Amino acid sequence: MEIVPSFAVGSAVGLRGFMSYIFGATLGRLGVGLVSDAFGWQGGFVFLLSGAVCCIVFCILTHYSVKEMYAKRALEQAQQ
């Protein structure tokens, strides 16, 4: 929530909760079940592994974006 402007924190928290509980529960039950049913246990594990890899990649991208944002903010404050 540190990268969200102060006026939008409530909306960001609400959206995050909605995505977590609604889409997370749906994919956890329906998505993995359908993939496992169609491709067997190996397909289900590959599906979960690909989700974990995507999570790691997105966390790294977010980290670098936040570092860049803080560097720009520090540069702007130094110029003032």
The per-residue pLDDT string of the chain (80 residues; one tens digit each, 9 = 90 and over) reads 566 677 778 888 888 888 888 888 887 888 888 999 999 999 999 999 999 999 999 999 999 998 998 999 999 999 98
Burial track 39-73 (b if 16+ CB lie within 10 A, e otherwise):
eeeeebeebeeeeeeeeeeeeeeeeeeeeeeeeee
**Does residue 73 belong to any structural domain of this protein?**
yes
Distance CA 44, CA 36 (A): 5
Number of domains in the chain: 1
Distance CA 29, CA 10 (A): 28
pLDDT of residue 1: 59
pLDDT of residue 38: 95
Predicted structure pTM score? 0.62
**Does residue 1 belong to any structural domain of this protein?**
no
Which structural domain, as residue segments, surrounds residue 65? 7-79
